Amino acid sequence: MYEVAIIGGGPAGLQAALTLGRMHRRAVLLDSGRYRNAPVRHMQNLVGFDGRDPAELREAARRDLAAYDSVETLAGEVVRVDGALGAFTLTLADGGRIDTARVILATGVADTLPEIPGLAALFGTAAAHCPFCHGHEFAGTRVGLIGMGAHATRMAAMLRPIAAELVVLAHGEPVDPEVGDQLSRLGATIRAERIASVAPAGDGALVTFEDGSTLDVGGILTATAWRQAAPFAEQLGVAIGPAGAIEVDALGRTSVPGVAAAGDAAVGPGLPGPMHAVGLSIAAGLTAAAATVQDLVSEELGA
Ligand SMILES: Cc1cc2nc3c(=O)[nH]c(=O)nc-3n(C[C@H](O)[C@H](O)[C@H](O)COP(=O)(O)OP(=O)(O)OC[C@H]3O[C@@H](n4cnc5c(N)ncnc54)[C@H](O)[C@@H]3O)c2cc1C
């Protein structure tokens, strides 16, 4: 019987495990090996690791964890979580079971890209979804924006100091006239045609439209739709907000006693929406684990 089971071995889960290990709490971390940033070789915007391979961070974290005897790490897929505070059971894909008093969900989210041939293959190199993560890498080039809808103006305004030129690739979707006016005030142009395909071209990409015309870009910022990567919040009846993120309080606690959540999967109070970044996931993992330790202590003290 573990005190805490952490599901997820990305930045949020690894940090939660480190915090629990440092407090000598008996914990297990389960990792199915599907990381959201797996397509990228360069992770940005994390102080001390800017530009490094995300796999390096995970390897360094696992080396750190090896120093703490109370934490076990297991490779494996969890398929089901049942139970309640003090008595949760995790069922693994190989039929194994893990009993734990508490659970931290650090299972992340999974992306779905607009259905444009070639876009998925470029995602993580010449195409990205986050200007904080990949905007600087497209500096001084023509940048194409896909699938932003009304958010195109905000994206264009964020990229204006970075990109040499901004082109909204509307892909046949109508552009609201007000959005069009704002975009032109920002110096962005609009290509209305549907995109036939995107393909790598040098360090950037070649966009081919259905009418046969083409456009070279240094990079593409694309919207993605995301969903929970794992079904455990639903299985446990944890409250999920309108954007699809697990709702947590400022300490990472969900609506279900004994279940905390951290990282991309969760959203805390007071935020305009989920904020997805490695640094924020690390902070959330630490917070959820520290709060879990406090909850264990309160139980022990009968407080
Ligand atoms: C293309 C791309 C590039 C990005 N680049 C950057 C960047 O440069 N800088 C930055 O700050 N952020 C970047 N991000 C965002 C960053 O990847 C996430 O914010 C971060 O990975 C979230 O960490 P996490 O621990 O919540 O989830 P993840 O890192 O996604 O980890 C989820 C973990 O849960 C595990 N898991 C899920 N389901 C199960 C299950 N059923 N059983 C067992 N384990 C399970 C997975 O195997 C994995 O270990 C990028 C995202 C994408 C898509």
Instruction: With a cut of 90, say whether residue 149 has pLDDT above it.
Output: no
pTM of structure: 0.96
- Write down the domain spans for the chain: 2-111+225-301, 114-222
| Ligand 1 pocket mutation pick from 281, 282, 286, 287 by most atoms within 8 angstroms of CB | 281
Residues 119-141, mean pLDDT to the nearest whole number: 96
Structure tokens at 122: 């470029």
Residue 264 CA: which ligand 1 atom is closest? Answer: 26
Percent of the chain at pLDDT exceeding 90: 96
Q: What's the pLDDT tens digit per position in 164-208? A: 999 999 999 999 999 999 999 999 999 999 999 999 999 999 999
pLDDT tier for residue 25 given thresholds of 50, 70 and 90: very high
CA distance 116 to 136: 24
Instruction: With a cut of 90, say whether residue 233 has pLDDT above it.
Output: yes
Indicate which residue's Cα is closest to atom 22 of ligand 1. 264
Is the CB–ligand 1 distance for residue 44 below 6 Å? yes
pLDDT of residue 303: 79
Is the CB–ligand 1 distance for residue 36 below 6 Å? yes
Residues 88-117, mean pLDDT to the nearest whole number: 97
Is the CB–ligand 1 distance for residue 263 below 6 Å? yes
Cα 281 to averaged position of ligand 1 atoms, centre (Å): 9
Cα 210 to averaged position of ligand 1 atoms, centre (Å): 34
Instruction: With a cut of 90, say whether residue 139 has pLDDT above it.
Output: yes
Is the CB–ligand 1 distance for residue 30 below 6 Å? yes
Is the CB–ligand 1 distance for residue 34 below 6 Å? yes
pLDDT of residue 43: 96
Q: What's the pLDDT tens digit per position in 208-217? A: 999 999 999 9
Equal CATH topology for 2-111+225-301 and 114-222:
yes
CA distance 90 to 83: 9
Indicate which residue's Cα is closest to atom 51 of ligand 1. 37
Is the CB–ligand 1 distance for residue 32 below 6 Å? yes
Looking at domain 2-111+225-301, its CATH class is alpha beta
Residues 5-29, mean pLDDT to the nearest whole number: 98
Q: What's the pLDDT tens digit per position in 60-79? A: 999 999 999 999 999 999 99
Q: What's the pLDDT tens digit per position in 251-296? A: 999 999 999 999 999 999 989 888 999 999 999 999 999 999 999 9
- CATH numeric code, 114-222: 3.50.50.60
Cα 73 to averaged position of ligand 1 atoms, centre (Å): 17
Cα 37 to averaged position of ligand 1 atoms, centre (Å): 5
Mean pLDDT, all residues of the chain: 96
| Ligand 1 pocket mutation pick from 35, 42, 57 by most atoms within 8 angstroms of CB | 35
Q: Which residue has the higher pLDDT, 19 or 147?
A: 19
